[in-house]
Each structure stands twice: as structure tokens, then as C-alpha cells.
Structure 1
Amino acid sequence: MTDRITEEFERYRGQLRSVGYRMLGSLSEADDAVQEAWLRLNRTDPDSIDNLGGWLTTVTARVCLDMLRSRTSRREESLDTHVPDPVVTGPDGTDPEQQALLADSVGLALLVVLDTLEPAERLAFVLHDMFAVPFDDIAPIVDRSPVAARQLASRARRRVRGADPDPDPDLNRQRRVVDAFVSASRSGDFEALVAVLDPDVVLRADVGASLLGVSHEIRGAAKVAGQALLFRSHGGVRSRPVLVNGAVGLLNSLDGKPMSVLGFTVRGDRITRMHILADPERLAALELPAV
């Protein structure tokens, strides 16, 4: 492999990782997909590739599609609630690599919705709506006609629009709402907690093998408020403000070790979605700010 091709690959690595993250919702699996694209490039005559960026995007997408298809059967056998890998940065969000990964502001709520799509639907939606890949190029990847690929993306788009609430883009407003939630939780004020939660709020908690209980999904302001008060009983927990996938979040630590990451979706001065990742193994694999 020539130095020129190696340099070209590195130039596209960030975009390929972004494709993998949106396709898989996993940072480590996205890196695996990018590495597999590199290995396949090494086995290919570079002179036969007219558009290296397009070729690499297509290969990465094919790898991700295979990974999604094998994952689907495993997920169907599991009753655990899954939270996608969060991208966590400091409250000012100045990490350039992480910002590049979130260039299109893909939140955890959106990734959860994408997890409900069929693999081919997810691929068509991600490549076309997020990376402007033409349906003529998507069709061979999913073994469909361009018209059928367009229909896959259209079905996915409808499901995304129907299930993913648009977050408030104002970070200061988000912070005020999340601060009110934290204050009410610490003071044990149930009514104040309910007031800052949307009536149809959804909380998803992925705790893995931690000591916090079992992974679960809770719906409704009263039930989520009750869960927040239950969590309050864990003494010695330190909360630090962070950005989680570009939105206001919290990084909780205990005795100097990361304990959980909380991501919030705020809309209309209320919290509509909460995502908690407290799986120790997955937390250890993430690039987290110092606690």
C-alpha cells in the first residue's frame, strides 16, 4: 500500500467512523468496521478504484450491515434495555475529534430509534439522509433496486420523525432544565421533579453487570421521578456537567471512578428523554473527561 493511499485513507477515517457510529451506535464496533475497510483496501488494487471516498464509504456500510444483521438475532434473545454508546465531552465541547463524530448532531434518542429499524432501512436512511449518498449507490449494498432503496429510507424517515422528539437547540435552556432536575432530585422534592419532566418522559437505563439493579425502561413523569429519588440514596456520588452527544448531560462518579453517564433530551422546558449508561465494562471502554 503506497504512502499516498495511506494518507488518503486517513483523510477519510473520520467520516468512515461517523458512518459506523450512526449505523451501529457503538464506538468500538464503528472502529472495527473502519479497520475492516482498511484491510479490504489493502487487498484491492487501488488503481481499480475511481472514487476512494465513495468506495470506502460503501465498504464500511457493507461491513456495518453484516454486523447489524448478526446483532439483530442476539438482541431479540435478550430482554435487557440497551443504550447506545454516548459521545461524552466537556461542557464546552471543544474536543475536535468528538465534534467531528457528531457533525450532524446525532443524539442518543435518535440512535435508540435507529436501533428499532431493520438493518437495510437503517443503512438506507443513514447513508442517504445523513451522508447524501445517492440511492443508485445504496441499492447494490442492500441488494435492492434504487426505487426500493428509496422506499426503505422513506419508511425509516417516517419512524424517526414519529418517535424522535426534536431537542431544544439552546444549551443554556437545556442546562437550566437539567439543573432544576438535579436540584429537585437532591432535595427529594417529588413535585418539583414531576414538574420538570414531560408527562410522557421515557427513561432508559443500561446498567450491565453493575450493582445498580437491572437494565430497564420507565415511562411517565411520576415513575421517572420516583426512580430519581431512589437513585438519590446512593451517597458520595459526584456529578459533573458534560455534553452527551452534543446535548447537556451528567457524568457521575464515585470515589474518583466513573459510575454513570446521563444524557437528556429537553424540549419545551421539560425533559422528554433520559438515557443512563452505567455498565462498568462499557464505561471503561469510553473516552470520558477526567472525573
Structure 2
Amino acid sequence: MDTAALERFEAGRNRLASLAYRLLGSAADAEDAVQDTFLRWQAADPDHIAAPEAWLTKVVTNLCLDRLRSAQARHERAAGDRLPEPLLEGDPMLGPADTVEQRETVSLAVLTLMERLAPIERAAYVLREAFSYRHAEIAAILDISESASQQHVHRARRRIAAGRRGGGEVDPASARRVVEEFLAAAASGRTERLVAMLTADATAVSDGYGLAKRLLRYTTPERIASLVRAGLTPTPAKRRLAGGSPTLHIAPVNGSPSVLAVVDDRVVGIVVLDVRDGKVASLYGIATRDRLTRLDACWRHRAPDAPAVTAW
């Protein structure tokens, strides 16, 4: 491969990775898909590819669809045994964030809802909402008709809107205040304070510190408040599991305010909060080690704010 062809691919690598991440919900899987795309680009003759960006987009999209349709992927999605991989603000894999729609497609809430879509619906939705492709372009990428593209996007929008609990965007200062108040309520020992900060239809999903075989789900404010209160109450067993006594930091993850538990500059767990009208509509707790690998690496390369809780 000549230098020009290599540079052409590298110029679009982050965009391809961002697309693959939205389709697969996993940074590691997205990187694999991009690498497979590079191998195909390497084997092709770039001089005979009229529109390189469209060609690369089609290849990476269809590689992701193959993964989503595989027997293993179908089993994982049906079993509900994992949450989307979280990414720290500033990670280039989060991709375009110029519009509300682009930012929404990378939130944990929407990525989780996209797991319920058929692979073709997910691809059409991501190409349209996150990358602003026209239906004619989506049809060419997915080898479907333009009307089919419109139908897939319409169904995906409807299903995601029906399951969405968050209430639009919250400015960073307001989001931080909500998280600070939430942490204070959890530390107060008064469960009723936590209940008051949750919406009536709040939900919580946890991977059980990475030890549970399936995701743990909670659907009433009282149960969620008890879960949060117990989870944020330090014990010797929890400190052993974390590898020490964490400090708690507030930082945006996938565009949402989040609490990061950090031990010796290593992120050992996070809670992502989806906020609606000043209250918490949903929480996602992740401590599975391999789901935090990329986020942890990004954390080590940034200068974090002072911790919100210095001794847990």
C-alpha cells in the first residue's frame, strides 16, 4: 500500500471507529471491525475506488452487521449480560457531537435501547442520526431500497423514543450539581433523600461489581435508593474488591454526568446518571474490568478535577 492510500485510511479512522462503536456498543469490537476494514482496504486497489469514504463506510458497516447477526452476538444480546462499554469525554471514538441527535446516539441510555433493535434498524438509525447520511446513501450502504431505509429509521426512532427515560440535554454545571446532591444524599444515610431525587419511573441497571452472570435491574425509586445507599456505603469487603479505598470523581461519560471510583489512578467502577428535569431518571453501574479498559486508559492521560469524595 502506498503512502497516499495509507494516509487516506488514517484520515478516516476515527470516523469509522465512531460508527463501529455506535453499532456494536463495544470499543474493543469497534477497533477489531476497523482493523478488518483496513485489511480489506489494503487488499483492494484504491485507484479503482471512486468514493473511498463511501466504500470504507459500507465495509465497516457490513462487518458490524455480520457481528450483530452472528450466533454469539445474538446470544449476548438476548441474554442481556452486559451494558455498552462506557467512554470518557474527549475520547475520539465518541465521534461527532455537533447536534443533539449525534450526542444522543452515543449516550448509554440510547446505546442500551439500540440493543433491542434489529441489526438493520440499528445501522440505518445510526447512519441517519449520528452521521446525517441521506436515505439514498443509507440504501446504497445497506443494499436496501430508499423506502426501506426510511421505514427502518422511523421504526428505530419510535422504539427508542418509547423507551427513553432521560429528558434531553443538561448543561454540565447543572449536571454536576445533580450528581453532587445525589452523592450527598447517599452519604446522609437517609434513603428518603435519595428517593426524592429519583423520578417516579426511574430505573437502574448494574453488572453487580462485575461478578453477576446477568445484569441486575431495579425499577422503583425505593429499591434504587436502597441499592445506591448500599453501594456507596464503604465496607472492608468492598475495599478489598476495589483494591483499596477509592476516591470518587465526577466526570462526563458518554455525554452524561457520572461518578467514577478511582484507586491509585485506576478506574475501578462507574455509575452513569441520566438526568431529567433535575432528577435522576436512570442509572447504569459498571465495574466489569474489561468494560472499563479504554475508559481507564483515557483517564490516566488526563488531569482530573479534585475528587468529590476523597475517602470512601
- Structures share a fold, TM > 0.5? yes
**Displacement of 1:151 after TM fit?**
0.6
**Displacement of 1:100 after TM fit?**
3.9
The residue that corresponds to 2:45 in the other structure is 45
Answer with 236-245 or 119-128: which moved more.
Answer: 236-245
Provide the rounded CA distance (Å) in 2 between the counterparts of 1:17 and 1:281.
Answer: 18
Deviation per CA, 1:216-261: give whole Å up to 9, x if none. Answer: 1111211100101111333434211111112211111346543211
Any conservation in 1 of the 2:14–2:95 contact (CA below 8 Å)?
yes
Other structure's SS at 1:274 match: strand
Match of 1:238 among 214, 223, 247: 247
- For residues 35 and 230 of structure 1, do their structure 2 counterparts lie closer, same or farther at Cα, with a shift above 3 Å needed? same
Deviation per CA, 1:10-33: give whole Å up to 9, x if none. Answer: 111111111011111111111111
**Displacement of 1:281 after TM fit?**
2.8
Other structure's SS at 1:249 match: strand
Letter in 1 for 2:28: S
Any conservation in 1 of the 2:86–2:291 contact (CA below 8 Å)?
no
Other structure's SS at 2:268 match: strand
Provide the rounded CA distance (Å) in 2 between the counterparts of 1:35 and 1:72.
Answer: 19
**Displacement of 1:207 after TM fit?**
3.9
Letter in 1 for 2:276: R
- For residues 69 and 98 of structure 1, do their structure 2 counterparts lie closer, same or farther at Cα, with a shift above 3 Å needed? closer
The residue that corresponds to 1:192 in the other structure is 193
Q: Is 2:113 aligned against 1:97?
A: no
Provide the rounded CA distance (Å) in 2 between the counterparts of 1:152 and 1:277.
Answer: 31
5 Å matches for 1:245-260?
245-254=254-263, 257-260=266-269
5 Å matches for 1:1-291?
1-70=1-70, 71-75=72-76, 78=79, 80=81, 82-89=82-89, 95=90, 97=92, 100=95, 104-105=102-103, 106-164=106-164, 165-207=166-208, 209-210=210-211, 215-235=215-235, 236-254=245-263, 257-286=266-295, 287-290=297-300
Other structure's SS at 1:253 match: strand
The residue that corresponds to 1:92 in the other structure is none
Answer with 59-68 or 212-221: which moved more.
Answer: 212-221
Any conservation in 2 of the 1:208–1:215 contact (CA below 8 Å)?
no
5+ residue gaps, structure 2: 236-244, 305-312
Letter in 2 for 1:289: W
The residue that corresponds to 2:242 in the other structure is none
- For residues 137 and 243 of structure 1, do their structure 2 counterparts lie closer, same or farther at Cα, with a shift above 3 Å needed? same
TM-score, structure 2 normalization: 0.84
Other structure's SS at 1:30 match: helix
Other structure's SS at 2:227 match: helix
Provide the rounded CA distance (Å) in 2 between the counterparts of 1:275 and 1:177.
Answer: 16
- For residues 128 and 255 of structure 1, do their structure 2 counterparts lie closer, same or farther at Cα, with a shift above 3 Å needed? closer
**Displacement of 1:57 after TM fit?**
0.8
Provide the rounded CA distance (Å) in 2 between the counterparts of 1:118 and 1:37.
Answer: 22
Any conservation in 2 of the 1:102–1:246 contact (CA below 8 Å)?
no
Answer with 178-187 or 163-172: which moved more.
Answer: 163-172
Other structure's SS at 2:202 match: strand
Provide the rounded CA distance (Å) in 2 between the counterparts of 1:100 and 1:180.
Answer: 30
Deviation per CA, 1:155-203: give whole Å up to 9, x if none. Answer: 0011122222333321111111111111111121111100111111111
Any conservation in 1 of the 2:12–2:53 contact (CA below 8 Å)?
yes
Any conservation in 2 of the 1:208–1:214 contact (CA below 8 Å)?
no
Provide the rounded CA distance (Å) in 2 between the counterparts of 1:11 and 1:225.
Answer: 46
TM-score, structure 1 normalization: 0.89
Other structure's SS at 1:289 match: helix
**Displacement of 1:96 after TM fit?**
6.5
